[in-house]
Amino acid sequence: MSDYTVISPYSGEPILTRSYADRATITDVVKRAEAGHRSWRAQPLSHRLAVARRFLDEVVARRDALATSITQQMGRPSRYTQGEVNGLLERTRYLISIAETSLAPHPVPQTPSAGAATPGFTRYITKEPLGVVLVIAPWNFPYLVAINAVLPALLAGNSVVLKHSPQTPLCGELLVECFNAAGVPTEVCQACPMNHTDCDWAIETLPIHFVCFTGSVPAGRLVAASAAKQMLGTGLELGGKDPAYVRADADVAYAVEQLVDGACFNSGQSCCSIERIYVHTDVYQTFVDQFAKVVGEYRLGDPRDPATTLGPVVHKAAAERIRAQVAAAVAAGAQPLIDEAPFRAQLSALAAGSAKTAAAFVIPQVLVNVTHAMAIMQEETFGPVVGIMPVDSDATAIQLMNDSRFGLTASVWTQDLDAAVRIGQQVETGTWFMNRCDYLDPALAWTATKESGRGCTLSAFGFDQFTRLKSYHLKH
């Protein structure tokens, strides 16, 4: 086994050290999961649901520890981390409420299409668990993204091996601890830290039956290639460059408030954060002025301080990449609207006690005079930066929103419901919002198109990728 150390994005100092599992350990984990699946699937769904309800109690009991672990490992300000715990509870409750219906056998009418009854036959289709599900979870929303896969997989009768990000191993450990304490056998839900090479090896060689991955497009391609060697199914939630369109009839003040949050929450580190905005020329200048004003009111600081509204990004290298993307856009003619001086003063105060502190902070920025020839409007930024362009019509907005290799979410800001639906029907995206953004409703399918991925979590359809159909055709 080899050790790795988690570095605080805030201080640059070590937080904790863990060990990657070696291949012998990984093999043992997967074999235990395979054996555990056989007994777990034999339990009635009512038992698995009762365990899931106890999981809710375990999460509530550990609420503060779960929230603190997010701030500690990935730097989100503490004022926001309880929100993720609340989201974890909300999604769990909803998935529990629909599990029985979503996993029920599908009856087939016993009368054929010809109209004549066929006595002596029973036909139905069941949803069978797959076996061992490997969940590869990211650091940016360490509980919310993981639960999307772990819970429905377990409720469907699978066993789960959770490989959490090496930036947030404590989150994976705490999540599994909650499930185990609730009554999920330790061999049915396990955390297993793996490096990238050994994870690919495990997918290619061990008895894993499905892989659910959330992360970057390049990493997703590697996971898909490894899974193909065993003909495994994959659920891939990858990158985003999510657009918003502000129509002339929008409530501008409300759109500004929501879109600033959609761009800057979690320091912009969300697959579905707002990264590009198209504004009708009639309201463009008003929108831009108000938007820049609100962004300028953010406060960089110690994420443990309740007054901090913008924490660091995940590490120094990510901060440097984001700054380079902004600098390239400015060099190509983009105009930055945010005065960086007040933010630099905040960072200087943070760095006064440590040369490392503040290295992973990114000053939020709003860019105008941008074009689709710039990476800032084409490539994922994953930081508190947004580009804004004027448009003269719905048709132009639709064309620009679709001019992307990504398709996770998109939104329109308008008071015209019919227009929102009409535009949404033409936009290539997994989720279409009206007057909302950067939100996952557990009742709706979380899915994508283009390079943003494939598969589905949440909603009644979120159980499907963790099951296979089995037909029963019985003559009696």
Structure tokens at 225: 């290639």
90 is catalytic: no
**Cα angle value 297/303/309 (rounded, 5°):** 20
The residue type found at 51 is V
Active-site hit among 237, 275, 380, 451:
237
Surface-to-core class of residue 89, CB atoms within 10 Å of its CB (0-12 exposed, 13-18 middle, 19+ buried):
middle
Decide: 129 and 41 in contact? Cβ < 8 Å.
yes
Structure tokens at 114: 């010809």
Which of 398, 367, 181 lies closest to 288 in space, CA to CA?
A: 367
Q: What is the spatial distance between Cα 371 and Cα 379, in angstroms, rounded to a whole number?
A: 12
Structure tokens at 248: 């002339």
Decide: 191 and 136 in contact? Cβ < 8 Å.
no
In DSSP notation, 193-204 reads: ---HHHHHHHHH
The residue type found at 307 is A
SS3 280: strand
Q: What is the spatial distance between Cα 216 and Cα 408, in angstroms, rounded to a whole number?
A: 13
Structure tokens at 183: 């009554």
Q: What is the spatial distance between Cα 244 and Cα 338, in angstroms, rounded to a whole number?
A: 20
Decide: 388 and 288 in contact? Cβ < 8 Å.
yes
User: So which residues are the catalytic ones?
Assistant: 237
